[in-house]
Structure 1
Amino acid sequence: MNYTLHQLKIFLKISETQSITKASEELHLTQPAVSIQLKNFQDQFSIPLTEVVGRKLFITDFGKEIAEAAEKILNEVYAINYKTLFHEGQLAGRMKISVVSTGKYVIPYFLSEFMKEHPGIDLIMDVTNKTKVVESLAQNEVDFALVSVLPKKMKINRVELMENKLFFVGPSAMSLKNINDGKKLFEELPLIFREQGSATRGAMENFITRNRFSIRKKMELTSNEAVKQAVLAGLGSSIMPLIGIKNELNNGDLQIIPVKGLPIITTWNLVWLSSKNLSPAAKAFLEHIEKAKTKIIDEKFNWFGDY
């Protein structure tokens, strides 16, 4: 057999995503390139690694075994690389962070300088909703999680990063004539929600329940970007995190609609299990955060104070 580490990496990613399209996106390769490597890898086995049912890709039982073996092989390769870098005097290793979807507008700024200073560290960052982030933390699958709502019934340590503000937002072209209070806003304007399990969805529902608003109509979308595009298109309004709409506010495409009780203010927290045995890379990142977070907030998020 003449399979390569590159093929092992591609097949492992395909097995994780169960999609050639998603694997190509995460690996920053074209779909044809991934498909060719999968075919070349499959040609070395007499037993199918994948099967397609109803246009959906599935990994066979044999393929799952090969994927497990591939992961072990790649982990050993990473370990060799990290040991080499360590002996050369560089900090090295892998660091995994699970981030709630709106956190993708926050965490890169806290990582940027750190990653430049330590090129031997490989970063794996999963961006998903709050429920899945908490699950990955509870199962010890990640070093850190970035959340705006602290997980309950879990012993964690945390570092506060910055405020998270949520406002009621609509398209700038929307007229608010004859709608002069929050109750009418929520009863007469179509509302757009995030999916169940989202912290933004939870904050929005709590606000509506607390104020006993009746809602006229709702649409449910699975990402803040999707919600933003729907609001921009005039499909409705929503309670949205300020962090993700800076450009649209500056361009005049969106407007913040004043509502009593808003904004909802929470805090972005970097959290980890209290029992977690942090790697040298993870410990170094915490040290970087403690030293640099004030400067990062002042330089990158000083516009927050304008709202």
Structure 2
Amino acid sequence: MNYTLNQLRIFLKVVQNQSVTKASEELHLTQPAVSIQLKNFQDQFEIPLTEVVGRKIYVTDFGKEIAEAAEQILQQVSTIDYKTLAYKGQLFGKIKISVVSTGKYVMPYFLADFLKMHPGVELEMDVTNKNKVVKSLQNNEVDFALVSILPEKMKVEKIDLMQNKLFLVGNMEEDFTKKKKIEAILENRPLLFRESGSGTRQTMERFIVQQDLKINKRMELTSNEAVKQAILAGLGYSIMPLIGIRREIQNKDLQIIPLKGLPIKTNWSLIWVKGKNHNPAALAYLDYLKKEKEAIIHSKFSWYEMM
């Protein structure tokens, strides 16, 4: 048999995702390239590794055993790579971070230079909603989590990265140069909310209670991008993090609506379970952030600090 490490990686990723399409996305390869390598790998075995029923791919019992073996082989290869880097005095290891959905506009900028400096460090970053972020932290599945609201009833340590600013946002169909009360603004269009469990939604609901507002019309959407597109289409207004609408504000597709009590200001915080024993890569990353976060903010987010 002449299968390659690349074929093992591709096969394992297909098994993990139960999909060639999803595997190709995670591997940053085209779907045909993954399909060809999967076929070449299969051709080396007389027993089927997968079977397709309808349009869905299923892994055979034999395929599952091969996948387990492939995972062990790839782990051993990683160990060899890490030992080589350690021998050369380079930092190595994996950092796992869970990020709330809007945090995807923040976290990469605080990671990029660190990963360039330390090519032996691998990154695993999951972007999801706040509930799942907190759960992954509770289950010790990640090293860090990026949140804008600290979890309740959980002992964590943190480093604040930058401010999170939330404004009332609408499209360009109306003139808001003269301040209006939010009740008047929402007479004809609803207020758009994120799904239950979203940090942005929690912040919005807290603001509504503090301001004693009565919201008669509301609409719920399941992502920041969906809310943004709904506002652009004229479906309503929403209180949104400024960090996710830079392009639309600069292009004058969206506008910030002046409103008493806004912007709401929280902090983007990188948090971890109190007392967690970090691996060397994670410890080095924390040290890097403490030294470099102000320079990163000045370099990458000067536009944001001025608003």
- The alignment's TM-score, normalised by the length of structure 1, stands at 0.89
Asked whether 1:271 is paired with 2:271, we answer yes
How many angstroms does 1:12 deviate by? Answer: 2.6
Contact 1:157 1:271 in 2 (8 A): yes
The residue type paired with residue 260 of structure 1 is: K
1:6 equivalent in structure 2: 6
Contact 2:50 2:57 in 1 (8 A): no
Asked whether 1:165 is paired with 2:165, we answer yes
Distance 1:71 1:206, change over 3 A: farther
1:220 equivalent in structure 2: 221
2:21 equivalent in structure 1: 21
Distance 1:51 1:212, change over 3 A: farther
Return 123-132 or 210-219, whichever deviates more: 210-219
Contact 1:171 1:255 in 2 (8 A): yes
1:250 equivalent in structure 2: 250
Contact 2:180 2:259 in 1 (8 A): no
Residue 266 of structure 2 aligns to a residue whose secondary structure is: strand
Distance 1:9 1:298, change over 3 A: same
List gaps (5 residues or longer) in structure 1: none
Contact 2:232 2:254 in 1 (8 A): yes
Asked whether 1:130 is paired with 2:151, we answer no
Q: What is the CA–CA distance in structure 2 between the aligned matches of 1:219 and 1:42, rounded to whole Å?
A: 46
Contact 2:191 2:215 in 1 (8 A): no
Asked whether 1:105 is paired with 2:98, we answer no
2:182 equivalent in structure 1: 182
Distance 1:177 1:263, change over 3 A: closer
Count of residues paired in the alignment: 305
2:300 equivalent in structure 1: 300
Residue 255 of structure 2 aligns to a residue whose secondary structure is: strand
The residue type paired with residue 9 of structure 2 is: K
Q: What is the CA–CA distance in structure 2 between the aligned matches of 1:182 and 1:61, rounded to whole Å?
A: 60
Return 92-101 or 44-53, whichever deviates more: 44-53
The residue type paired with residue 216 of structure 2 is: I
**Post-superposition CA distance 1:218-276 (Å, at most 9, x none):** 1413x322322232232322211101111211111110112232222111111112232
Contact 2:168 2:238 in 1 (8 A): yes
Contact 1:187 1:213 in 2 (8 A): no
Contact 1:11 1:38 in 2 (8 A): yes
The residue type paired with residue 287 of structure 1 is: D
Distance 1:62 1:172, change over 3 A: farther
Return 166-175 or 9-18, whichever deviates more: 9-18
Residue 234 of structure 2 aligns to a residue whose secondary structure is: coil
1:203 equivalent in structure 2: 203
Q: What is the CA–CA distance in structure 1 between the aligned matches of 2:238 and 2:80, rounded to whole Å?
A: 49
Asked whether 1:230 is paired with 2:230, we answer yes
Contact 1:51 1:60 in 2 (8 A): no
Q: What is the CA–CA distance in structure 2 between the aligned matches of 1:104 and 1:163, rounded to whole Å?
A: 15
List gaps (5 residues or longer) in structure 2: none
Contact 2:143 2:278 in 1 (8 A): yes
**Post-superposition CA distance 1:190-233 (Å, at most 9, x none):** 33332333211222233335534223241413x32232223223
Q: What is the CA–CA distance in structure 2 between the aligned matches of 1:4 and 1:46, rounded to whole Å?
A: 18
Equivalent residue runs for 1:44-193 within 5 Å: 44=45, 46-49=47-50, 51-52=52-53, 55-59=55-59, 63-175=63-175, 180-193=180-193
The residue type paired with residue 291 of structure 1 is: K
**Post-superposition CA distance 1:131-172 (Å, at most 9, x none):** 121122122121111111112222222111111011111112
Q: What is the CA–CA distance in structure 2 between the aligned matches of 1:247 and 1:99, rounded to whole Å?
A: 21
**Post-superposition CA distance 1:95-128 (Å, at most 9, x none):** 1111111111111111122112111111121111
How many angstroms does 1:8 deviate by? Answer: 2.2
Distance 1:124 1:217, change over 3 A: same
The residue type paired with residue 241 of structure 1 is: P
Residue 277 of structure 2 aligns to a residue whose secondary structure is: coil
Q: What is the CA–CA distance in structure 2 between the aligned matches of 1:189 and 1:239, rounded to whole Å?
A: 14
What is the root-mean-square deviation in Å for CA atoms of aligned residues? 2.4
Q: What is the CA–CA distance in structure 2 between the aligned matches of 1:148 and 1:269, rounded to whole Å?
A: 6
Give the fraction of aligned pairs with identical amino acids, expressed as a percent: 60
Asked whether 1:281 is paired with 2:260, we answer no
Q: What is the CA–CA distance in structure 2 between the aligned matches of 1:23 and 1:15, rounded to whole Å?
A: 9
